[in-house]
Amino acid sequence: MKILVTGAVGFIGSHTAERLQSLGHQVIGIDNFSPYYSETLKKLNEKALGEKGISVIKKDLRDQDLADSLPKDIDYIFHFAAQPGISKTSTFEDYFSNNIIGTKNLIDYALQLTNLKMVVNIATSSIYGLEATFPESVAPKPASHYGVTKLAAEQLILQKSREKQFKACSLRLYSVIGPRERPEKMYTKLIACGFNNEAFPLYEGSATHLRSFTYVGDIVDGIVSVINNEDAVDGEIINLGTEVEHTTQEGIEAVETVIGKTIQINHVEARAGDQLRTKANIDKAKKLLNYNPQTTLLEGVKKQVEWYEANFL
């Protein structure tokens, strides 16, 4: 199949694009190379994709001429592109335009595709709110502009499934870690601080926060398994993550164990909208996708440290 991956040079998008290519599909990426974080990592990911034969179109989903830049014979869309995370440097307009307007433009493009089998929206546990321990049937209570706009994007895509205009599903991901994680995210920053003898900025009270830290390879397992399951997952919201919880403090200790040194901690003001607990309820994913994440926290951290050492030391 011919597959379009939006946000293809990002963390999870790049891993998914590579996996899809390895499964024998023809993958085309699109990314706007947003300056939200350094282009160095994005260029590194683009180079890795290129070595696998995956081309990336530099284009913004918010552009009005989006459809003119993309092929019309696409069978599948995996939609990762978004204004990510909770950041003081991101305005509401950033979240709104990227996550809602960009998604609406992608939908308009998808409606032109005669071969389209499914649109897979990549969502987030932040949709649930400050606590994300629930099955997909629970009403969401997002507590950040990120969560609110990702919920809106999810519903825009699922609306088209309800209208029978194309098949679609939405996958809510939980606390993904591993190689290529963004530089401002917890594990990449921890690893960098450890190797560079810098203090890690720990948000006040967050050491006891609980997370379903899920290795990116396990997440990609779930994402690609929707292929050939279109009828079963059409219109569905599905959680992907591990059922195993760890505190932020345990995450810090895992990195310290792998790199063999204690990381200095600098306590900083708590972040508004930060989740207190995430624990993936994956009963639905097990049933529909035979989903079974296996990578332990320590195994995932080891792979991420190896990637960091290979590319940044």
| Active-site entry in 146, 174, 215, 291 | 146
Residue 76 pLDDT exceeds 80: yes
Average pLDDT of 119-142? 97
Domains parsed from the chain with CATH numbers: 2-174+216-242+282-289 (3.40.50.720), 186-209+244-279+296-312 (3.90.25.10)
Proportion of the chain above pLDDT 70, given as a percent: 100
Residue 103: predicted pLDDT: 98
Residue 272: predicted pLDDT: 77
Mean of the per-residue pLDDT values for the chain? Answer: 96
According to DSSP H, which parts of 52-181 are helical? 92-96, 102-110, 145-162
In the structure encoding, which two tokens stand for residue 244, read together? 């195993």
In the structure encoding, which two tokens stand for residue 302, read together? 């080891």
Proportion of the chain above pLDDT 90, given as a percent: 92
Query: Does residue 95 have an active-site annotation?
Result: no
Contact 79, 106 (CB under 8 A): yes
Residue 284: predicted pLDDT: 98
Contact 172, 237 (CB under 8 A): yes
The confidence band for 111, taking pLDDT boundaries of 50, 70 and 90, is: very high
Residue 172: predicted pLDDT: 98
Residue 86: predicted pLDDT: 79
| pLDDT tens digits along 140-180 | 999 999 999 999 999 999 999 999 999 999 999 999 999 99
Residue 274: predicted pLDDT: 81
129 phi-psi bin (left φ>0, alpha ψ -120 to 50, beta other): left
| pLDDT tens digits along 2-28 | 999 999 999 999 999 999 999 999 999
Sort 170 into a burial class: Cβ within 10 Å, 0-12 / 13-18 / 19+.
buried
The confidence band for 108, taking pLDDT boundaries of 50, 70 and 90, is: very high
| pLDDT tens digits along 231-270 | 999 999 999 999 999 999 999 999 999 999 999 999 998 8
Better-scored residue on pLDDT, 91 or 88: 91
